[in-house]
Amino acid sequence: MNKLLARANRSISVALAAWLLAGSSLIAQVLGLLRERLIIANFDIGSAVDAYRVAFTIPDFMFFILVSGALSVTFIPVFNERLSKGNKKSAWELSSSLINFMAMLTFVASILIIIFADPLVRYVVAPGLDEQTTFLAVSMMRIIAINPFLFAISSVLTSMQQAFGRFFFFALAPSLYSLGIIIGVQYIAPHVGIMGVAYGVVIGSVLQLFAACMGMWGMGFDYRSRIFWRNLGFRKVLSLLPARSLDQGIDYFNTLVETNLASRLRAGAIASYQYATTLHMVPITLIGVAISTAAFPKMTERLNQGRPDLFKKELQAILRVIIWLALPTAVITFFCRGYLVRFLDGNGDSTIATLLGLLVVAILFRSIYHIASRAFYAQQDTRTPLYISLAAIGLNVGLAVYLARPDHFGIYGLAIAQSLVAVFEVTILFMVLVKRFPGTLDLVFMNAMLRMVSASGLTGIVTYILVSFIFPLRASDSGFMVLVPKFVFIAGISLLSYFLFSAIFRLTEVKPVIERVLKIAFRQLRA
């Protein structure tokens, strides 16, 4: 057992970490899709599922504003700084202080959610729900209210592991979370209805915390049950935290507005929109979040070493890889949106499919956003992304309110607004970034972008032919045994075409892929 834990908790390279996070994210996303498919199969897309989605809003909002990315991007640079100087005592005091501080803060937040769940749902989150759905949402929210507290502790622990280059248990945690909810759907919901899903959420949160604790094995962490207020690292994190927390909270405020607007349209509108956003988040998580999370500790290390030249070089290389992967993914998602929706709902849903099609622009730009924002956090600058987010969210709310009116685009207006704002936010971030690091987006980089767009355009033609003429989606296609082979074939041929076009256009990003394939092929021939 000790050997297995030691092997799982060993430090790994950025490249291996990115592959591990992408692979584990894929597994987590598959489990997540299975989880949502089971929920839809048992309860349909209607009032009950609306209540389930609404129940998450306030607990998730509190987690995002108090913990989430706010913690990792403010804590890791300061924690790394202590470790690089060999000051483990200060690093452990900082970690203990954050665990205790965050636990106290989120415990109070959880109690307040339980007390005020009814007015929050009724007057803030979803005023358009009927009385029965409101009661159900309130009841589920009071159960899920424990999430911020459990997530806060696990987030500090996994952030420490990332700083040490440990990613295994951090990568495993999301899958365990989905597994807990699946247990709730399959084994508890048959007895208590959709409330069983809420109990499953708590089970998933506990499993996630357990995984985070396992990742601490062998680290030598000296935990103290007190807050070291005089620790300079802790005080520095607290000074950086408000700006990033507000940035995260403002981002999620947009979700609250979207839920509020969707609740006024029709039963199932909340679920339809959130399922579309869930599907569009799959590639963003696999590409943008996974690669950016793996690269972030190294980016902070480069700046701590006083090497902005290496920081800029690595940022450009990572950005190229993200765009190279996100472009064809967005194209394939657009043409295969009917297949993707049926993975959630076996009967298909034209509303979700149209929403997903409108969100493909956001897939590309939200993937880029994660590395762009981390470029600022690596500089311990949390204010610039905050100010840009303030402008972006203000624009998003204004567009959503206008475009989502029943006499305009209705529910589709929310997706249009989100895609437009994703472009705006990334554009402004890079305008500031290029000013600080001239040459980041040089002619060589822009030339590569043009070739990537060209390769993606040709891939789109291939995907369109495959979906429209060779493997069209039929009304009878609903089971996984029918959908998966067809989708895998379409996506596989499309990606192979993209790699071929990338090689023709001499994109360096495709070389490691070709070399790996040839290595495997020759190994099989020798065997």
DSSP string, 447-472: HHHHHHHHHHHHHHHHHHHIIIIISP
CB atoms within 10 A of CB 125: 27
The structure's pTM equals 0.78
Q: Residue with structure tokens 């483990």?
A: 88
> What is the pLDDT averaged over residues 297-320?
80
Residue 455: pLDDT band with limits 50, 70, 90: very high
Residue 519: pLDDT band with limits 50, 70, 90: low
What percentage of the chain has pLDDT greater than the value 70? 91
Gyration radius (Cα) of the chain, Å? 23
In 3-state terms the chain splits into helix, strand, coil percentages (rounded to 5) of 85, 0, 15
Q: Is the pLDDT of residue 297 over 80?
A: no
CB 110 within 8 Å of CB 149: yes
Q: Residue with structure tokens 């994660």?
A: 370
The dihedral sign for the CA sequence 78, 82, 85, 90: positive
Q: For residues 40 and 225, give the distance between their C-alpha atoms in angstroms, rounded to a whole number.
A: 43
DSSP string, 187-254: IIHHHHTTHHHHHHHHHHHHHHHHHHHHTTTTS-----SS--TT-HHHHHHHHHHHHHHHHHHHHHHH
502: left (phi over 0), alpha (psi -120 to 50) or beta: alpha
Please calculate the CA angle 75-317-285 and round it to the nearest 5 degrees.
55
Confidence at residue 91, expressed as pLDDT on a 0 to 100 scale: 85
Residue 446: pLDDT band with limits 50, 70, 90: very high
Q: For residues 76 and 97, give the distance between their C-alpha atoms in angstroms, rounded to a whole number.
A: 14
Confidence at residue 14, expressed as pLDDT on a 0 to 100 scale: 59
> What is the pLDDT averaged over residues 304-312?
77
Confidence at residue 457, expressed as pLDDT on a 0 to 100 scale: 96
DSSP string, 52-119: HHHHHHHHHHHHHHHSHHHHHHHHHHHHHHHHHTT-HHHHHHHHHHHHHHHHHHHHHHHHHHHHHHHH
Torsion of CA 424, 427, 428, 434, to 10 degrees: 180
DSSP label at residue 300: H
Q: Is the pLDDT of residue 136 over 60?
A: yes
* SS3 annotation, 98-115: HHHHHHHHHHHHHHHHHH
